[in-house]
Structure 1
C-alpha cells in the first residue's frame, strides 16, 4: 500500500478517540456473531424447542467458534512472533488469523447446516465464512475493515429477513444501521482505516450475506 492509500491521521479530542476505541471493542468482529446468535435465540426465538440450558450451550458454541478460537489464534501467533500486535494493524499481520478463521467459520457453517439449524442461522454462518474468504482475497490489495465487514453482514441479514418475514424488522434494522454508523465512524476517527477500506468492508460484508441468502434460501 502506498502513502496515498494509507489512512491519514486527523486531530480529534482525546475523549472522542477514547469513545471510538470503546465502540470498536464492543462491536469487534469477534463479538458480533455472538450478538447475532443471541438475537436469533432470544429475540427471533428460532430455537423454541430448546430448554434454557441448551440455549445457553448454543451461545457458548457460537462464542467458542466465532470468538475464542480466532482470538486464541491471534494470541498464539503474537507469542510466536508471526504478528506484531494483536490489533492486526498491517495486512501481513492479518494473513494467519484470516486463514485460521476460515477453518473455524467453515466448520461452524458445516455443522449448523448438517444439524438442521434454522435457515436464518445457516445463512448467517455461511455469510460469515464467505466474508472471511473475501477478506483473505482483498487483503492482498488493501487493508479492508474487518469491523465494516461484520456490520455489512448484519445490515444485509436484517434487510433480507425483513423481506421474507411478516415480523416488523424496522426497529432492529434501525438499531443495526445506527451501530454500523458508530462503528465505521470510530474506525475513521482513530485512523485505523481510510474511507475506501470502510466502504469496501460494508459492501463485501453485504455481498457475502446476499450470496449466502441465495445459496441457502
Structure 2
C-alpha cells in the first residue's frame, strides 16, 4: 500500500495512508473528538472556564450540570448504539453506512432535545449554554435529514458547530478571544483531515458536515 491517499470512490471507501503513525494519529483524533464528546467539552468550557456564565453556582452544582450533559448527550446515546449492535439491529457500532445511522440519529435527537429543554427550564441557566445546546440539537436534526440522501460526516457536524460557537462567542461575549477560534479551527482541521486519511468520508461529506454544524449553531444562537 502506498503512502499517498487515493481519491475515494463510491461511498467513500478508498485506500488510506500506509503510514502507521499517521493512521494511529488519525484514529486518536477521531476518538478524542468523537461527535458525542464535543457537547460535553464545550459545556465544560462554559461551566468551568468562563468566569461569569456560571459564576453564581457552587462547585457541586456545576459538576452536576456537566454530568447531566455527559449522561444525556454522551453516555446514553453510546449505550443505545451498543444495544442496537448487540441486538443485531445494526451490523457495526462504527455506523459505517446511512441505513445503520437512522436509529442512532433519532435516539440522539431525543436526548439532545431533552438536554436543551431541561437546561432551558432550569433557573439561572445562562443564555450562552441554552443557545449552544439548542444549536447542538438542531445539528443532530440536520445530520439526520442529510443522512437520508448521503452519509454526512458526524465529526464534521460536531467540529463545525464547535468552531461556530467559539466564533460567535468571540464576537458577542466580553470574555471571547481569537485564541479560542484559532484552537477550534486547528482541531477541526486535524479531525476532518483524520477522517479523510482513514477514508471514512469523502471531502464532500466532510465539508457538508462542517456546513451543517456551522449553520445550526448560528440558528441556535439567534434564539
TM-score (norm 2): 0.92
Which of the residues 167, 170, 185 maps onto 2:178? 170
Partner of 2:79: 72
Q: C-alpha separation between the residues in 2 aligned to 1:166 and 1:54?
A: 24
Question: In the alignment, which residue of structure 2 is the partner of 1:27?
Answer: 33
- Give secondary structure in 1 for the equivalent of 2:35: coil
184, 195, 206: which is aligned to 2:203?
Answer: 195
Q: Which of 11, 22, 40 pairs up with 2:17? A: 11
The CA distance in 2 between the partners of 1:57 and 1:11, in whole Å, is 42
Distance 2:126 2:174 in 1: 17
Distance 1:85 1:142 in 2: 18
Counterpart in the other structure of 2:212: 204
For the aligned residue pairs, the C-alpha RMSD in angstroms reads 1.2
Alignment correspondent of 2:127:
119
- Residues 33-70 of structure 1: CA distance to partner in whole angstroms, max 9, x if unpaired? 11111100111131112111111111110100110110
Query: If the length of structure 1 is used for normalisation, what is the TM-score?
Result: 0.94
Q: Does 1:151 align with 2:151?
A: no
- Separation of aligned partners in 2, 1:6 and 1:67: 26
Q: Which moved more, 1:127-136 or 1:160-169?
A: 160-169
Contact conserved, 1:12 with 1:189, CA < 8 A, in 2?
A: no
Unaligned runs of 5+ in 2: 1-8
Query: Out of 51, 64, 77, which is 1:57 matched to?
Result: 64
How far the C-alpha of 1:5 sits from its partner, in A, is 4.7
What residue is the counterpart of 1:140 in the other structure? 148
What is the number of residues matched between the two proteins? 213
How far apart are residue 9 of structure 1 and its match?
A: 2.0
- Distance, in Å, in 2 between the alignment partners of 1:4 and 1:64 is 36
